[in-house]
Structure 1
Amino acid sequence: MKDPLKIPQLLLRCALGITFLTPVSDRLGILGPKGTGNVEWGNWQNFINYTSTLMPLFDRPVVNILGGIATVTELIIAILLIIGYRTRNASAAASLITLTFIVFMVLSVGIQKPINYGVFTATTAGFLLARVPNYEWSIDRLLAKKSG
């Protein structure tokens, strides 16, 4: 039977991976300085300043650590999704981390920011991708074929 999700799951994997890769690149200054193009932060300091507004209960050093953990996690998720390795787990992790972002954003700055940033869409996309039965054109698929 032909798999109707063959191409959509690939596109969703790549789109979600890029959705995580872009803000990581922004906060590391790879996309340029703040205010150019669609650059939100432009550097780590601006990112931590913004993150501090989302986590007012935490001291600055804690926010810096949590921001670092989030950044590394987002980078790993992005890579795993794009190459299609442990896709189900990466998709679930994508949903959980973005759901966490939604909670912090809604409680601190209101519902409009997560809507503007597409965080609800990313959360839902991750949950949907985690339910796809087969990941064509992925390392997962190659490993499944190899193991029989």
Structure 2
Amino acid sequence: MTDKNVQFPQLFLRLALSVTMLSAVADRFGFWGNNSAWGNWENFEAYTRKLTFFLPESLSAFSAYTATFFEILFPLMLFLGWGTRIAAFGAGFLLLVFALSMTMALGFKAPLDYSVWVGSAGAFLLAVQPKYLFSIDHLTNKL
């Protein structure tokens, strides 16, 4: 497979993962209005408590903040193409933990409906690419 065969699908995957994850963050801060899944931080924390039923409540709240931090950091890195491999592995693991938590708390259907497994797999696929065209990583490697 040549670089030309993968450059646009790779860029599309990078941007799709980035925008999708940032959309989830926007939702928990109420930016999507009536089209929200959570609509506000309190609803998101309640949802996080449901998914992390096996943790004490204080750790559940901490996991909501931690997940949000990484759901902002990794997508921004992916969007810019800066530290792409690290960001892709991070997003893959974050989505994998989310998929496993959803499966344990809500059953198999929920993570399938929200394509969390696909997002995780896509992030891991992106992480193992040999280089990242259209990225800051690619520009800095050329210098």
TM tier, smaller: over 0.9
Q: How far did 1:59 drift?
A: 2.9
Aligned counterparts of 1:2 and 1:103: Cα–Cα separation in 2: 34
* Residue of structure 2 in register with 1:115 after alignment: 112
Structure 1 residues 8 and 53 mapped into 2: Cα distance closer, same or farther (>3 Å)?
same
Q: Which amino acid aligns with 2:103?
A: V
Residue matched to 1:6: 7
Aligned counterparts, 1:67-106, within 5 A: 67-106=64-103
1:23-102 equivalence runs, <5 A: 23-32=24-33, 36-37=34-35, 39-102=36-99
Q: What runs of 5+ residues in structure 2 fail to find an aligned partner?
A: none
- Find the aligned partners of 1:130 and 1:22 in 2 and give their Cα distance: 21
Query: Which protein has the bigger helix share?
Result: 2
**Distance in structure 1 (CA, Å) of the matches to 2:3 and 2:129:** 14
Task: Flag as ranges the 4+ runs of structure 1 deviating above 6 A.
Answer: none
Q: What SS is found at the alignment partner of 2:45?
A: helix
Mapped partners of 1:80, 1:65: distance in 2: 23
Offset at residue 2 of structure 1 (A): 4.9
Paired with 2:86 and 2:57, the residues of 1 have a C-alpha distance of 31
Q: How far 1:82 sits from its partner (Å)? A: 0.5
Question: Normalising to structure 2: TM-score of the pair?
Answer: 0.94
Partner in structure 1 of residue 23 of structure 2 = 22
2:138 and 2:117 map into 1 onto residues whose CA distance is: 28
1:126 aligns with 2:114: no
In 2, the alpha carbon distance for the partners of 1:11 and 1:116 equals: 21
Between the aligned residues of both structures, percent identity stands at: 35
Q: TM-score, normalised by structure 1?
A: 0.91
RMSD: 1.2
